[in-house]
Copies of this chain bind each other. A is one copy, B any other.
Amino acid sequence: MKRLDSRTPEFEAGFTALLADRETESGRVDAPVAAILEAVRTRGDEAICEFTARFDRMKLTPDRLAIPAAEVDAAIAQVPRDQLDALEVAATRIEAFHRAQLPTDMEFTDADGVTLGQRWTSLDAVGLYVPGGKAAYPSSVLMNAIPAHVAGVERLAMCVPTPDGVLNPLVLAAARRAGVTEIYRIGGAQAVGAMAYGTKTIRPVDRIVGPGNAYVAEAKRQVFGRVGIDSIAGPSEVVVVADANNDPRLVALDLLAQAEHDELAQAILITNDASFADRVAEAVACELETLTRRVIASASWRDFGAIILVPDWDEAARLVDRIAPEHLELMVDDPRALFAKTKHAGAVFLGRFCPEAVGDYIGGPNHVLPTSRTARFASGLSVYDFLKRTTFIAADKTALERIGPAGVTLAQAEGLEAHALSISARLDKR
């Protein structure tokens, strides 16, 4: 963990190092992924079954790719009641927030008599990739599927690998609750290929979302253009801005909730009180002794953690905007005022009783957020990812007479004669 003071001359070098890229050099997988995609494109289900046998040690036939409703029912029946109830609370709240997010169509007729507008419509079909094994988070299924369902997407196909046949019942329960219409027990680049190109048993989708390993990410990159994809998530981060009127243990737990995700996660405390900074550092060390995921969290805190001392919240806001964190907690007296001073963050948590974990599960807004400083230009997942806009223009002859001549002049200036003629010939009509 790094300690920095924004008033010292060495601050700038230390802070810049903190912002440095946390991406690890993952091996290039573009060639093997291209080969898998090509096999799926040309040989369809047969290739899917071969790759699933090889990578997931599962012998499948095309008719067994889809998980039938009865199998989903049986799996859900194993889920403890309290988990199903908690899932329902989360799903209901996520649904309500994303419903409030739905945009409305726009239309107006201007002074020239031209009617202009834009109409939102949903995508027809979306593919949701869900990692298998330990990385399978039911909360992510809700966060990816519910916005698509709320947007009005009719087909919501999910692919989740089941290595050695192991299924996560809570993932299936989440899929059922979120409105997923088809579930396939396949994963990896082959699943992405199936959703992008379609096979005899799996119809193609229009957009693929959801996290995955390096093969899945590369496969999404390669099918981009044929279908839409979501952004490729990098390592995740939190910035907690806290004054001395906080319980150091609560701040420590919030930092560790980020650090326990993975070794590349980054947790940063910004405070205006040096002795509070010390107490938080001690509390982190103390909690790390007992935390289940202490190996991961310790590595993250050691390598990328930081405590930054600032003279005031104006300076804190400036640093927040330079970090552009995925998550930002504001545990200060007037969090709204500080929020108003910042510009770049994926999701913000206001007040001393709103830890980031609320947003991961049951707040309502999406937990799929821009990582690695991309909050400068990107937003979290939303209903917008499953909608697209069609703009429209309606003009009659009178309206065209008013605005058309300027169009003719510009088309001629650009050397596009048919463009100019398509307007001028209409103006010439009696």
Contact = CB atoms under 8 A, between A and B. Distances in A.
Interface of A: 82-83, 85-87, 89-90, 93, 96-97, 100-101, 103, 106, 108, 110, 112, 114-116, 118, 121, 123-124, 134, 137-139, 170, 206-207, 225, 227-228, 232, 234, 247, 249-250, 253-254, 256-257, 259-261, 287, 291-293, 297, 335-336, 339, 343-366, 370, 372, 374-380, 382, 384, 388-397, 399-400, 403-407, 409-411, 413-423, 425-426, 429
A257 B380 contact: no
Given A225-B372, A336-B394, 10 more contacts: A96-B110, A114-B364, A118-B365, A123-B377, A259-B418, A354-B394, A354-B400, A357-B423, A370-B388, A377-B388
A388 B343 CA distance: 10
A335 B101 contact: no
Contact of A422 (B106, B250, B339, B409): B250
Contacts of A249: 425
Given A89-B403, A225-B232, A376-B124, A392 B361 contact: no
A291 B425 CA distance: 14
A97 B279 CA distance: 54
A390 B413 CA distance: 42
Contact of A292 (B101, B139, B396, B415): B415
Contacts of A256: 418, 422
B425 A250 contact: yes
A400 B361 contact: no
17 contacts: A83-B410, A101-B106, A123-B377, A124-B376, A170-B413, A228-B378, A256-B418, A292-B417, A348-B390, A354-B400, A355-B426, A358-B403, A359-B391, A361-B410, A362-B410, A363-B395, A378-B388
